[in-house]
Amino acid sequence: MREPARDRERLQHILDAIITIEQSRAKYATPEQANDPIIYFGFVKHVEITYRS
């Protein structure tokens, strides 16, 4: 079983990643950028890396 304090820390990292993505989203608002798989996977990878920290 995981330690509750560690779980809370991981959840905070995930929340921070989501906030960063939300704040950056406006930069990529054009339809071309919104449908760009590289930008999409960059956001996904940001959350993955943060979650594994």
Residue 35 — φ and ψ, nearest 5°? -100, 5
pLDDT at 1: 55
pLDDT one digit per residue (tens) for the chain, 53 residues: 566 667 888 888 888 888 887 887 777 777 777 788 888 888 788 778 766 65
pLDDT at 2: 60
Residues in the chain: 53
pLDDT at 11: 85
53, 13 in Cβ contact below 8 A? yes
What is the DSSP code string of 9-26? HHHHHHHHHHHHHHHHGG
Domain boundaries, the chain: 4-52
